[in-house]
């Protein structure tokens, strides 16, 4: 009986190892593709490989964020920063935030969260310009869909000139209805990304001081 159990355990372990080997590359490829798509969606068009040129920037809390520089030829056109907050209503929130070289948020993508569906989960679109719904007559006559600017949107704004905190806390951004905790956490992640962006090795904003090389806190991978 002992030999039979040992054989079964060894067989099961072998099968699990084989399955792991078979699925490891597809899972890794899927994660890489998701990362590439997230970067592409949050920065201006580029022709380099931001993942291959990525590096880490230390934060005030002692950890680090990964920065992905986007370039056109030799010119930097923006940065994507993988940021997070652990203060969401349900814990960790991970976002990819893109900046242009004028300090403005180009776009963002929520990579992972466990916020309440229909409430905190609205952050996926809440902090972007809202799309104006067209009436049936407008659709028939081919009216263009317009995006309306709202106080909840962070797109095209800079944390350096706009207070990226919820209006309830004296900031300039309207929180998600009934989801102030999620909104605070999301904006914390964006502000953390901005802090990392402004310490980037290629930081060339016309509206801020370039970080000297000897003072830079990036940690090369």
The model's pLDDT over 169-197, given as tens digits with 9 standing for 90+, comes to 999 999 999 999 999 999 999 999 999 98
Give domain status of residue 176, yes or no. yes
Give domain status of residue 205, yes or no. yes
Q: Is the pLDDT of residue 90 over 80?
A: yes
What lies within 8 Å, CB to CB, of 171 at 6+ separation is: 163, 164, 165, 187
Give domain status of residue 21, yes or no. no
Give domain status of residue 15, yes or no. no
- For the chain, how many structural domains are there in total? 1
> How far apart, in Å, are the Cα atoms of 129 and each of 12, 120, 126, 208?
52, 17, 8, 26
Query: pLDDT by residue (tens digit) across 104-138?
Result: 999 999 999 999 999 999 999 999 998 656 556 65
Give domain status of residue 31, yes or no. no
CA atoms within 13 A of residue 82's CA, in its CB half-sphere = 20
Give domain status of residue 29, yes or no. no
Give domain status of residue 65, yes or no. yes
Domain coverage including residue 82: 39-219
Give domain status of residue 47, yes or no. yes
């Amino acid at each position: 009986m002992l030999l039979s159990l040992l054989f079964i355990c060894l067989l099961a372990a072998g099968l699990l190892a084989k399955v792991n080997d078979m699925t490891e590359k597809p899972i890794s490829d899927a994660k890489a593709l998701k990362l590439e798509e997230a970067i592409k969606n949050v920065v201006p068009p580029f022709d380099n490989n931001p993942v291959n040129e990525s590096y880490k920037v230390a934060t005030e809390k002692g950890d680090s964020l990964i920065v992905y520089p986007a370039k056109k030829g030799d010119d930097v056109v923006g940065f994507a920063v993988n940021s997070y907050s652990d203060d969401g209503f349900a814990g960790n929130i991970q976002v990819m935030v893109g900046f242009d070289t004028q300090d403005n948020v180009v776009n963002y993508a929520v990579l992972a969260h466990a916020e309440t569906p229909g409430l905190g989960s609205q952050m996926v679109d809440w902090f972007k310009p809202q799309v104006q719904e067209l009436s049936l007559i407008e659709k028939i006559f081919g009216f263009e869909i317009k995006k309306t600017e709202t106080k909840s949107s962070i797109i095209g704004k800079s944390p350096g000139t706009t207070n990226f905190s919820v209006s309830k806390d004296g900031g300039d951004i309207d929180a998600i209805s009934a989801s102030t905790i999620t909104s605070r956490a999301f904006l914390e992640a964006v502000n953390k990304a901005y802090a990392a962006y402004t310490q980037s090795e290629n930081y060339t904003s016309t509206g801020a001081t370039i970080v000297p090389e000897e003072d830079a806190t990036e940690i090369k991978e």
